[in-house]
Copies of this chain bind each other. A is one copy, B any other.
Amino acid sequence: MEAHPHPSTPAYQRIAATFRALITSGELRAGDQLPTEHTIAEQFGVARQTVRTGLSLLVTEGLIVARRPHGHFVRRREHMIYRPQERSRPRPVTPEMMDRFSQQIAAEGRVPSQRIEVALVQAGADLADRLRVEPGVTVVARRRVRFINGEPININDSHFPLELVKESAIMSPAYIPRGTDQVLADLGHRQDRAIDEILIRMPTPEEIHRLSLGPGTPVAVHYDTGYTAGGRPVRCTVNILPGDRHKIVFERSWLS
């Protein structure tokens, strides 16, 4: 059963390596239960505390979860396919009260929901750079947490220069059937290109709380900044995408 029986490797590392190999090779699959601590301790001829130390490494790596009192299980990774390019495609004709996220999730037979709030916030350096305003200037933040079957899936916070949107539906924390891009267009600020930037990091304590993240779950931070034909940035959306729930997909054609 041991994948790396080199005698100089500490026992807890050998235990971790063994189960890591079984998981990455697919012999143990998502949702499978690992043998009990007692069984593993007997097989390796070590104390249960040593088994616990070994398995805790795999929890930190995001490979398994501990569900007391049942034991350890291979973590499920059910990915939502996340397509930034969809935003810049014509909106499909579908039920009026559903945005693209809700359409996609409903089409998969799952139940989408979201919580929207609108706040006035001071632009930090990251937003100020992207919206070309001074740091500390007030911007409008339209914040959403999105849920699938009641579980939080991601955070989607759109930011707008205050003077552009202060008289518009964007200020109301309600769902906007035509979409905020159309609101901006109706105000004379139609977007015609966007830049997607993706950064990878560990989550902040606030993100862990808002998204109920388990140990060993990094996030992608996706900045999506929309520009008018004149080159003015009019929207900056910050998406926080937990790594255990998303696959980001782009398609591209070869240019010659």
A interface residues with partner B (beta carbon < 8 Å): 17, 20, 24, 26, 60-62, 79, 84-85, 88-90, 125, 191-202, 204-205, 216, 218-220, 241-244, 246-256
Query: Which residue of chain B is the closest to A226 with respect to CB atoms?
Result: B254
- In the complex the two chains form, is B218's CB within 8 Å of A201's CB? yes
Question: Shortest beta-carbon distance, A185 to chain B, in Å?
Answer: 10
Question: Shortest beta-carbon distance, A166 to chain B, in Å?
Answer: 24
Give Cα distance in the complex from A61 to B248, angstroms: 23
Highest count of chain B CB atoms <10 Å: which of A195, A243, A246, A249: A243
- In the complex the two chains form, is B252's CB within 8 Å of A197's CB? no
Give Cα distance in the complex from A78 to B17, angstroms: 32
Among B24, B192, B202, point to the contact of A60 (Cβ < 8 A).
Answer: B202
| A125: B residues at CB distance < 8 A | 26
**Known contacts A218-B243, A243-B218: does B88 contact A252 (CB below 8 Å)?**
yes
Among B85, B89, B200, B249, point to the contact of A241 (Cβ < 8 A).
Answer: B200
